[in-house]
Every structure is written in structure tokens, then in C-alpha cells.
Amino acid sequence: MEAIVKTRVVGGSVMTTIPKKMVNEMNIRGNELIRLNVKKINKDFFGRLKGIGKFTAEDEMNVE
């Protein structure tokens, strides 16, 4: 099972939460040991523009 979650800073630590759906499906309880595989997701701005095509002369912003 996989989930994408956001980290946050609390004091000097970095924390995250496990989604409720995952907790319920895997029957996770407090004070249990679990194994986490962590993979950082790189945010690439240019990947978000994929497929919009090339800019044209009409796309230029005229600043006067």
C-alpha cells in the first residue's frame, strides 16, 4: 500500500501522518513498530507544463 503525504516541522523533528484509510486497512495501532520506505518526490515545475505545446507570438505579453 502506498500513500503520498506531506512532512511538517515540529520542534527539531520532521513529522508526517499516516492516512486514516491506510491505518484502518493495515490495522495499525499506537505503540506498534512499522516499517516505512521513504522516497522523496521531486517537484519539477517543467513537468507540470508537459503537453501544452510551444509558445506562439499570440502568447507574448505586451508590456507598455
**Domain presence at residue 8:** yes
Question: For residue 49, with 0-12 CB atoms within 10 Å meaning exposed, 13-18 middle and 19 or more buried, which class applies?
Answer: exposed
**Domain presence at residue 22:** yes
pLDDT of residue 21: 92
**Domain presence at residue 42:** no
Residues in contact with 2: Cβ distance below 8 Å, sequence separation at least 6, in sequence order? none
Domains of the chain: total: 1
**Domain presence at residue 13:** yes
pTM assigned to the model: 0.57
Could you list the residue range(s) of the whole structural domain that residue 23 is in? Answer: 1-31
Mean pLDDT, consecutive 10-residue stretches, the chain (64 aa), reads: 90 93 94 92 67 66 58
